Chain A
Amino acid sequence: MARDKQIMALNKLGIDKFRGFIEDRMKGNTSLSVDSIIFNSDCVEETPFKSKIDLDQKFEDRFELAEYLYEALVNEYSEYKNKYGLENKDIDGKSVGLWSWFALVYFEQLYDYDAQHKPENDVHFIFQPNKGQRWYRHSVFTPFYLVDEHHDIARVLISSKIATYGQMIESTVSRNHVMNSRTAKESIRKLYADNNNNGNSKKGCSSQPETKKEKQLTKDGAAKTSGFGGIERFSLELQKIKLTHHIQGLDSSSLINLMGDEFKHWVE
């Protein structure tokens, strides 16, 4: 049975408690429950959003989660965006409270208990709009932001696993030269979206090129191909092309042509 609840926000005490909760989970301690914070009236405050969400809703991936919240907030969010969106960079602000509350509500799905490398800090769960280079790592806000503002490429950028952040976001969202360009975004979709798999990113396209010189060659002396034509290389190449071409005036096919042969094997 659904447990519908009004959309709330964590207050300062709630954020502190959530921070402690995350630390506990990272240490393997699961004694504290999500509900113990959500239903503690000292930790939460009301929001102007009238919609309700189901606390027990299960999601296949973060895109589905983002669409669920988008649908819940669609008629109200734009009205309160200045307070509850990225624009509000106050470290104790309402946006921090709202998006951290969502991350707490669905924490058990978002946290990868089986991950070999646990996240080093709480940036994936506590929304940090004040940290310019970190806000986009939030597990709920970023997928929502992509669905809200960059719907055309949201599906290919958002991880297809609910507990995984994914390299596609890391290589693109913080880079203005990618996100500001309609042509670049169209090219990303053309190159990396797997149309046979609901538009999710193609396997291997988010692998990273080796940055250390001594590791760029195989034992036989051949160049390693990891990250070849992948999303990280796309961002870097685009930066170079921006110096010589007016990217907004190009169509995606022309841009992909300019990017060089390494990218062409992704085109279907």
Chain B
Amino acid sequence: MTANSITHTTNPTDVIKIHKQRFTIDIEKDFDGNKYFDYKEINLKGLELDRTALVYLYLISGQIEIKFDLGTVNRPIKPSNRFIGQLRGLKFRLLVVDKDTQRIIASAEHVSAKSLNQDKRDSLIPVETDSKLGNEIWKLPLIDGAQPILYLNQKYPYVENLIANDYQTVALIYPQVMRLALMHYINNPTDNATDAWQYKWYRFIKEHGFNKTEIPSSESADSMKFEFIDKVIEKWLKNIDIFSLAVTAINNRKSE
């Protein structure tokens, strides 16, 4: 067999991929503070889809999966009840389905919502505020398979500003957050899909000079995982120079 005779099917399912740029899902709050998801338009133009095909949006949070009926390709409807309650770690799945065979014609998988106050949609650890953290300033709940999200206690004064701009706060909190999230990444392997949250972590690790073969597997001994995480964290802290920045910030405050 020569190399010329090898063929590779890049899309064996024949499902048309709906690019994430065709729609944006936001998490908003109503006047009473209840969270809901929203979107302006789901643009399916130019995909040459059957106009009568059914469109569904699935909201996924851990073990919970909620279906929203969005009508058909030519007659879209927007569900009126889009409240998400206390659900966390949301992912969305958009499906265009043949109404007779239920075959998926087109889909968008693992779509993240743009969180409240989150400008950077593709951040490594999305940050959200929460009013039910009790006496904890921050929390990183780890749900199997789900992207880790950092929750900040909304009752703690200026918490969002501190986490974004205050070097001392960042130096105190983020190394531990990153440790937990890295362990979660190691323990929740996935395929090589570039749209999975794990891929961002893989890229992060690679950017800090580590090879794929150096990353422990979920089955590796804990000691091996801790050792690897220590190395990555140390490299990252060195790169962003947060220790010096925090020290300088403290000294500046003293002299003010």
Contacts and interface: CB of A to CB of B under 8 A. Distances in A.
Interface residues of B, number: 21
A180 B63 contact: yes
A249 B56 CA distance: 11
A243 B145 CA distance: 17
Contacts of A180: 63-65
A250 B102 contact: yes
Interface in B1-34: 13-15
A197 interface: no
A57 to B, nearest CB: 30
B102 A133 contact: no
Contacts of A246: 54, 56, 95, 97, 102-104
Given A179-B63, A243-B13, A249 B143 contact: no
A244 B103 contact: yes
A132 interface: yes
A245 B144 contact: no
Contact of B65 (A133, A176, A245, A249): A176
A132 B65 contact: no
B189 interface: no
A78 interface: no
B62 A245 contact: no
A245 B103 contact: yes
Interface of B: 13-15, 54, 56, 60, 62-65, 67, 95, 97, 101-104, 142-145
B144 A244 contact: no
Interface residues of A, number: 15
Contacts of B102: 245-247, 249-250, 254
A245 B104 contact: yes
A248 B66 CA distance: 11
Given A132-B142, A132-B143, A243 B62 contact: no
A136 to B, nearest CB: 10
B143 A244 contact: no
Contact of B13 (A132, A244, A250): A244
B103 to A, nearest CB: 6
B63 A244 contact: no
Nearest to B93: A242
A174 B13 CA distance: 26
A176 B63 contact: yes
Contacts of B142: 132
B62 A244 contact: no
Contacts of B60: 176
Contacts of B65: 176, 180
Nearest to A255: B102
A176 B103 contact: no
Interface in A217-268: 243-250, 254
B67 A244 contact: no
Nearest to A134: B144
A85 B14 CA distance: 42
Contact of B144 (A132, A179, A247, A254): A132
Contacts of A254: 102
Contacts of B104: 243-246
B168 to A, nearest CB: 30
Given A176-B65, A249-B102, A250-B102, A243 B97 contact: no
A224 B201 CA distance: 39
Nearest to B86: A87
Contacts of B13: 243-244
Nearest to A86: B63
Nearest to A180: B65
B142 to A, nearest CB: 7
B63 A249 contact: no
A176 B146 CA distance: 12
A244 B15 contact: yes
Contacts of B63: 176, 179-180
Contacts of B101: 245
Interface string A179-216: 11000000000000000000000000000000000000
Nearest to A242: B104
A244 B54 CA distance: 14
A110 to B, nearest CB: 25
Nearest to B58: A248
Q: Name the 6 nearest CB pairs between A and B, nearest first.
A: A132-B144, A249-B102, A180-B65, A246-B97, A246-B102, A176-B63
